[in-house]
């Protein structure tokens, strides 16, 4: 199986969701993007925005 690859469109959706969350919570908190995926995260120009990636091996 292949690792998950973040596309330009998916990156835009994640950034929008993060902005909505940050606008609705107190500024004292700092949310982190964490990706839970079966086979890991493929490194590309958009993967650097993910602070933590968890795989099946991490969970089981």
Per-residue confidence (pLDDT) for residue 17, from 0 to 100: 94
Buried b (16+ CB within 10 A) or exposed e, 18-48: eeeeeeeeeeeeeeeeebeeeebbeeeebbe
Quick check: 29 pLDDT over 90? no
pLDDT of residue 26: 76
Contact by Cβ (8 Å): 4, 46: no
What tens digit of pLDDT does each residue of 34-49 get?
Answer: 999 999 999 999 999 9
Is 8 in contact with 44 (CB distance < 8 Å)? no
Residue 27 has pLDDT above 90, yes or no: no
Given a cut of 90, is residue 13 above it in pLDDT? yes
φ, ψ at 30 (rounded to 5°): -130, 95
């Amino acid at each position: 199986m292949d690792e998950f690859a973040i596309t330009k469109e998916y990156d835009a959706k994640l950034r929008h969701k993060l902005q909505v969350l940050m606008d609705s919570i107190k500024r004292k908190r700092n949310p982190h993007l964490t990706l839970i995926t079966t086979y890991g995260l493929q490194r590309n120009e958009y993967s650097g925005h993910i602070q933590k990636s968890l795989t099946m091996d991490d969970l089981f």
